[in-house]
Amino acid sequence: MANNKIVRIGGASGFWGDSMVAAPQLVRSGQIDYLVFDYLAETTMAILAAMRAKNPELGYATDFVDVAMKSVLKELKPRGIKVIANAGGINPRGCADALKKLAAEQGVDLRIAVVEGDDVSAQVPALRAADQRDMFSGEPLPERVLSANAYLGALPIAQALAAGADVVITGRCVDSAVTLGALIHEFGWQSDDYDRFAGASLAGHIIECGCQGSGGLHTDWQEVPDWADMGYPIVECAEDGSFVVTKPANTGGLIARAAVAEQLLYEIGDPGAYLLPDVACDFREVKIEQVDAEHVHVNGARGLPPPDTYKVSATAMDGYRCAGSMVIIGIDAAAKARRTGEAILARTRAILKQLGLADYRRSHVEVLGAESMYGPHARTEGSREVMLRVVVDHPDRQALGIFAREIAPSATSWAPGTTSPGGGRPASTPLIRQFSFTLPKGALSIQVEIGGDTYPIEVPLTHADVAAPAHVPVAPPAFAADDAPSVEVPLIKLAWARSGDKGDLSNIGVIARRAEWLPLIWQQLTPEVVKDYFAHLVHGRVERYYLPGIAALNLVLHDALAGGGPASPRMDPLGKGMAQMLLDLTVKVPQSIAAEL
């Protein structure tokens, strides 16, 4: 007998700092049963650890309580809406206590559940002694860590809802788990319903970045109306794991097949083995279909048993960083800026040497306005207005104080047209380094606390060797070219694209605007071509994966972000612009196709 039940979930936050309009917009839309939030980027955990070191009551995403919940708390129960958020950071109980206090002030009776067990920082010394190493670099674990948290799954969230929670607060969990947990509870799925888990995880993946699922960051940004009133995404989920993407009525943004496909590819590696704590997802044959102007239907995700390990994301202190900037105006502005940056480094290095201080651990010069990120592909040699950015790392804060003091004299000493937008000397900040490793699931004790009762969570072990099924083709059919002369066009004429990051990896998802064009794109967008195009930025290998379901390919670029996240000195440490740069790459197309563009 078919289950026609639909569960509606709104994604109100893609990071700590998302817009305050999201929660009220979704709650008052009358279109959701659950309101979910994702707050915890890797860097956020280090920030939260520093907060808690100064005040033991902190260590959670304060915006969740002070902004989001404060604006909608009285409306949740009358509307029948439950809330799930990983806002707990490294202090989920502190977050729950703050929310209880707010609920009491507003006279709201609220059952709040807390998921605990992700914090594994106490295990790090023993792991270091056992020679545990970073899963990407192979480096040993550092002596002192700021945070170390395992990415938990959705089963504890489902248990909390089963225990009657109105609000579930977790620490670190995978971003999509806040959606999957609600659907496990609502549909009564078993832990081995892997296809349904994969579909629900994809639904969570589409809404986990806020407006990125409803037109934000879309390649064809000109077609996205009313940015000021962007609608936050809603998924209407069915029992079989399929879902429809929409947004609140009469809001801006765009619900389009292409925009949803871009988000599917965002920050994934192998689309045939996207590993989560509850399921290994295969997204290669997912279908995305436009239903109407406000609805896109998604189905076809497949699931495999998950690994028996959790990924742990940890952070450690690695000295200090200072970034200074100046504006240079006039003829040869870019050349003047580069010389200024080199002079600042040369002068301060000489001072450090005189004082017996070590050299910078790392230095980096960029000229904004001269397309530094484009490297040899830059087209702005004639720039007449640029900003110089100089970044240095050092283990001693005193050295960075010297650097900060010596930036300003460039305005009166060297290049004509040098000025500054103000703000005084740049400050040095702690440099946070991220590292990752895996832990057996049995090494964690996970529990849910609600109303004074504690429920231990049993996480099933699968003993599975996860590998993508072999029946899906690994490449599209060969492109059959005609004998007519070809024409060069930018890739953006043929495709949409979105890029993201995982540590020092960058991924670029490329979706053909017409499915029949994918063989042509595949033929020309080889790993070798992409590696050569990004040779000034990417220092590792390039992998390529095929997604026949949405006529797309996914490129995974290794050693691409100069360390990635807070470790990277680049102005784009997360690779947000790499898809935009790739869309500038020229490809050869037959005249018959060029005539259609």
- The string of DSSP letters for 292-327 reads ETTEEEEE--EEEPPPSEEEEEEEEEEEEEEEEEEE
Are 533 and 592 spatial neighbours (Cβ–Cβ below 8 Å)?
no
What's residue 228's pLDDT?
A: 97
Question: What is the distance between the alpha carbons of residues 256 and 212, in angstroms, rounded to a whole number?
Answer: 11
Sign of the CA dihedral with 577 first, then 580, 584, and 588 last = positive
Are 443 and 127 spatial neighbours (Cβ–Cβ below 8 Å)?
no
Structure tokens at 76: 């949740």
Are 110 and 81 spatial neighbours (Cβ–Cβ below 8 Å)?
no
What's residue 51's pLDDT?
A: 87
What's residue 469's pLDDT?
A: 66
Sign of the CA dihedral with 484 first, then 546, 236, and 176 last = negative
**Domains in the chain, please, with CATH?**
6-117+152-299 (no CATH), 318-432 (3.30.70), 486-594 (3.30.1360)
Angle (nearest 5°) at CA 585 between 579 and 588: 135
Sign of the CA dihedral with 165 first, then 169, 175, and 177 last = negative
Length of the chain: 597
Structure tokens at 303: 């699931």
**Host H or E run for residue 532:** helix 527-533
Question: What is the distance between the alpha carbons of residues 99 and 93, in angstroms, rounded to a whole number?
Answer: 10
Strands 552-557 and 505-512: antiparallel
What's residue 480's pLDDT?
A: 83
Per-residue pLDDT 10s for the chain (597 aa) are: 568 999 999 999 999 999 999 999 999 999 999 999 999 987 788 788 878 878 989 999 999 999 999 999 999 999 999 999 999 999 999 999 999 999 999 999 999 999 999 999 999 999 999 999 999 888 999 888 888 999 999 999 999 999 999 999 999 999 999 999 999 999 999 999 999 999 999 999 999 999 999 999 999 999 999 999 999 999 999 999 999 999 999 999 999 999 999 999 999 999 999 999 999 999 999 999 999 999 999 999 999 999 999 999 998 889 999 999 999 999 999 999 999 999 999 999 999 999 999 999 999 999 999 999 999 999 998 899 999 999 999 999 999 999 999 999 999 999 999 998 877 899 999 998 888 999 999 999 999 999 999 999 999 998 777 666 667 889 999 988 777 778 999 999 999 999 999 989 999 999 999 999 999 999 999 999 999 999 999 999 999 999 999 999 999 999 999 999 888 999 999 999 999 999 999 999 998 888 888
Question: What is the distance between the alpha carbons of residues 132 and 533, in angstroms, rounded to a whole number?
Answer: 36
Closest Cα partner for 168 from 116, 114, 108? 114
Is this structure's pTM higher than 0.75? yes
Question: What is the distance between the alpha carbons of residues 98 and 16, in angstroms, rounded to a whole number?
Answer: 17
C-alpha distances in angstroms, 408 versus 339, 404, 425? 15, 8, 7
- The rounded Cα 119 to chain-centroid distance in angstroms is 21
Are 352 and 392 spatial neighbours (Cβ–Cβ below 8 Å)?
no
